[in-house]
Chain A
Amino acid sequence: MSGVETLGRVLPVVALRQRRGWLRRALRTGPLVCGSAILALVVIIALMAPILFPGNPNDMVDVPAQWPGESAATPLGTDSMGRDVAAGLAYGARVSLLVGISSAVIGLLIGTTVGAIGGYFGGWTDRILARLTIIFQTIPSFLLVIVIVTIATPSAAIIALAIGVASWPTVARLVRAQYRSLRAQDFVMAARSLGYSAPRIIVCEILPNALPPIVVTTSVMVANAILIEAGLSFLNLGDANLISWGSMIGDGRALLRTAWFLTALPGSAIALTVLSLNLIGDGLNEVLNPRAGKE
């Protein structure tokens, strides 16, 4: 009897605690869920673009400069050349995501390699690599991207490469710090005493332990790459064959007074996509690195 009584008295408290725990978890994973949902939507639109909008998004389909809702065929309006804004947004998502992800991969590869080698070996190797990192960090990355893209012909691949080359120092610094602190730990000593080769220790032993902050940085790097690509194609330095959100803003600028939606829509698309990536970054940071965001 008394046991049941106690249980009865305790249960609501437990339930309350559980509910609070749920609330706290939701607040902690909320950004991650929210960001993933938005990003998933953008990815789906990007993948479905050829099905949703068959035909070239650069083709004239309607009367130029129609406001959203004016014509049933083009629900989000048309630009100064009669192109469908909705189709442009869908195809633009492909360019933004493609350039964003591939440049982040390039930046991660360079940055992780430089940071891991410098941090693991230390000494002169580290000093030279750290100097190289500082040099690339000092040069304004957007200007460097402009210079590289201007020297080569602007194509999506070159733009991704240029952004990757300009953005690796952040990763290198992060990875270097990780390797410097991890290389003195017991499991590395053990691996070394077992006669493992340096590359094996760097890749198979330390890298998995250094991954969490790298994962968080990845989403931020994709976000920044999308912003850089947008600025570049806004300045008409993007891939001329592809329609992108930045180039849509650039084209819409001429009609800023009469048809500002041509600028507003692609800009919102950029902000929303980058926001989703930053939410994911914040969320991952909370989950992987719980102490960082404590209140």
Chain B
Amino acid sequence: MMSLRRTAQVARHAVLDALPTVVGIVVLNFLLLHLVPGDAVDVLAGQSGSATAATMDAMRAQFGLDRDLWSQLLSYFVHLAHFDLGQSVRFGMPVSRLLLERIGNTLILMVTAQVLALILGILLGWIMATFAGRWLDRALSVLVLIFYSTPGFWIGLMAIVLFSVELGWLPNGGTGTLSVRLEGLPWLLDRARHLVLPALALASFFMAIYARLTRAALVEVQYQDFMRTAHAKGLHPLVVQLRHGLRNALLPVTTVAGIQLGNLLGGAVVVETVFNWSGMGQLALEAVQGRDFNVLLGVLLISSILVIVANAAIDLLHAWLDPRTERADA
């Protein structure tokens, strides 16, 4: 086990490492916001259809849109420090509250998909590595490559056709049944039933990535000296596989799982649309339709920060898995 001091050290490094990235992302967000032709007031005026130049100027002053770029960036930072992401023009409420409402659903979907992808991917990769070069390995490799090449949202749509339209086993969308009020275990089961298809659709691509990685890492590790030593010590082959082989193969898999988090979020945007899953992705699309850039960039910012936090957690996990790791990417 890792000592408390080392944990604290790794955690401090992770935070210090993440800070400039956060600042860079905030600045990029701000710049993107200013590339937008026209502003929120133009949209509002367009919607109401009866705005005069004077009322539009007054609204710009109210939103602080009439000041110069630097002071706007400064106030953007000050506001962010207070978790203030601005006001949504379309929804008429603070962006932070909108995000808080939706982030839970996206997290449930992402975490479930990531866990499913990791379990299935590592399992498949392990089977492929055990039978490396034989027909089972080749057959599974082709299957995995097909999943690696197929858009997850399309797998979701086809799964709806099969499991929901034809077989009627699972619901075709939504986060839960709306018509009846459920509590306790039935509620949980209902939520789980709604989660199965979207989570699997989102997981498919990432499962393929992890399976390919696990296979490659396990095949590579098979020839290492410590594996031969472990075998020579007379350890049970399964113990050698699990404690020595898989543990080492897990390092690249967890690293890539962290790198892929951003893509997982991107995939969630499309999968949420397919399954009417009311999360941040759907919110982003509603924002696109309403040209509500405060909301859109709020989603971008929060997702990026989510990725940073998760990667810091993975650094900690690495320090635990591999004592040689002083800090990631040193």
Q: Which residues of A contact B (CB under 8 A)?
A: 131-132, 134-135, 137-144, 146-148, 150-151, 223, 227, 230-231, 234-235, 237, 249, 253, 256-257, 260, 263-264, 267, 270-272, 274-275, 277-279, 282, 292-295
Asked whether A274 lies within 8 Å of B149 as measured between CB atoms, the reply is yes
Asked whether A140 lies within 8 Å of B263 as measured between CB atoms, the reply is yes
A47 vs B149: C-alpha distance in the bound complex, in angstroms? 23
Closest to B281 in A: A143
A183 vs B216: C-alpha distance in the bound complex, in angstroms? 28
Q: List 17 A-B contacts (CB under 8 A).
A: A139-B28, A140-B263, A140-B300, A141-B263, A142-B266, A143-B303, A150-B288, A223-B149, A231-B267, A256-B160, A267-B154, A270-B150, A270-B151, A275-B146, A275-B150, A292-B216, A294-B219
| Other-chain contact of A146, B133, B216, B284 (Cβ < 8 Å) | B284
Residue among A144, A150, A277 with the highest chain B CB neighbour number at 10 A: A150
Asked whether A143 lies within 8 Å of B266 as measured between CB atoms, the reply is yes
Asked whether A256 lies within 8 Å of B165 as measured between CB atoms, the reply is yes
A140 vs B291: C-alpha distance in the bound complex, in angstroms? 20
Q: Would A256 and B161 be within 8 Å (CB), given that A140-B300, A295-B133 are in contact?
A: yes
Q: Would A146 and B288 be within 8 Å (CB), given that A138-B307, A235-B270 are in contact?
A: yes
Asked whether A140 lies within 8 Å of B288 as measured between CB atoms, the reply is no
Asked whether B146 lies within 8 Å of A138 as measured between CB atoms, the reply is no
A43 vs B11: C-alpha distance in the bound complex, in angstroms? 50
Q: In chain B, residues 134-154, which have Cβ atoms closer than 8 Å to a Cβ of chain A? A: 145-146, 148-151, 153-154
**Complex contacts, B219 vs chain A, CB 8 Å:** 294-295
Asked whether B36 lies within 8 Å of A278 as measured between CB atoms, the reply is no
A198 vs B149: C-alpha distance in the bound complex, in angstroms? 40
| Other-chain contact of B300, A131, A147, A260, A294 (Cβ < 8 Å) | A147
Asked whether B165 lies within 8 Å of A257 as measured between CB atoms, the reply is yes
**Complex contacts, A135 vs chain B, CB 8 Å:** 21, 24-25, 28
**Complex contacts, A138 vs chain B, CB 8 Å:** 21, 25, 262, 304, 307-308, 311
A134 vs B266: C-alpha distance in the bound complex, in angstroms? 17
B200 at the interface (CB under 8 A from A): no
**Complex contacts, B37 vs chain A, CB 8 Å:** 151
Q: Would A140 and B304 be within 8 Å (CB), given that A146-B269, A263-B157, A279-B145 are in contact?
A: yes
Q: Which residues of B contact A (CB under 8 A)?
A: 20-21, 24-25, 28, 32, 35-37, 132-133, 145-146, 148-151, 153-154, 157-158, 160-161, 165, 216, 219, 259, 262-263, 265-267, 269-270, 273-274, 284-285, 288, 291, 293, 296-297, 299-300, 303-304, 307-308, 311
| Other-chain contact of B150, A237, A267, A279, A293 (Cβ < 8 Å) | A267
Asked whether A278 lies within 8 Å of B149 as measured between CB atoms, the reply is yes
Asked whether B158 lies within 8 Å of A267 as measured between CB atoms, the reply is yes
Closest to A278 in B: B149
**Complex contacts, A260 vs chain B, CB 8 Å:** 158, 161, 165
Asked whether A231 lies within 8 Å of B153 as measured between CB atoms, the reply is yes
A280 vs B28: C-alpha distance in the bound complex, in angstroms? 36
| Other-chain contact of A150, B20, B149, B263, B296 (Cβ < 8 Å) | B296
Q: Would A263 and B158 be within 8 Å (CB), given that A150-B296, A234-B270, A275-B146 are in contact?
A: yes
Main secondary structure of the interface of B (DSSP, over half): helix
**Complex contacts, B35 vs chain A, CB 8 Å:** 151
Smallest CB separation, A288 vs chain B (Å): 16
Closest to B287 in A: A150
Smallest CB separation, B148 vs chain A (Å): 6
A272 vs B149: C-alpha distance in the bound complex, in angstroms? 8
A140 vs B244: C-alpha distance in the bound complex, in angstroms? 34
Asked whether B148 lies within 8 Å of A144 as measured between CB atoms, the reply is no
Asked whether A137 lies within 8 Å of B262 as measured between CB atoms, the reply is yes
Residue among A132, A140, A263 with the highest chain B CB neighbour number at 10 A: A140
Given contacts A143-B299, A260-B165, A295-B132, 18 further A-B contacts (CB under 8 A): A134-B21, A137-B262, A138-B307, A140-B307, A141-B263, A146-B269, A146-B284, A147-B296, A147-B300, A150-B288, A234-B151, A235-B285, A253-B274, A260-B158, A263-B158, A270-B150, A271-B149, A271-B150
Asked whether A143 lies within 8 Å of B145 as measured between CB atoms, the reply is no
Smallest CB separation, A2 vs chain B (Å): 39
Asked whether B284 lies within 8 Å of A143 as measured between CB atoms, the reply is yes
A95 vs B288: C-alpha distance in the bound complex, in angstroms? 23
**Complex contacts, A277 vs chain B, CB 8 Å:** 149
**Complex contacts, A278 vs chain B, CB 8 Å:** 145, 148-149
Closest to A263 in B: B157
Closest to A228 in B: B266
**Complex contacts, B165 vs chain A, CB 8 Å:** 256-257, 260
Which 10 residue pairs are nearest across A and B when measured between Cβ atoms? A142-B266, A267-B154, A275-B149, A274-B149, A140-B262, A135-B24, A271-B150, A295-B133, A140-B265, A260-B161
**Complex contacts, B273 vs chain A, CB 8 Å:** 234-235
**Complex contacts, B25 vs chain A, CB 8 Å:** 135, 138-139
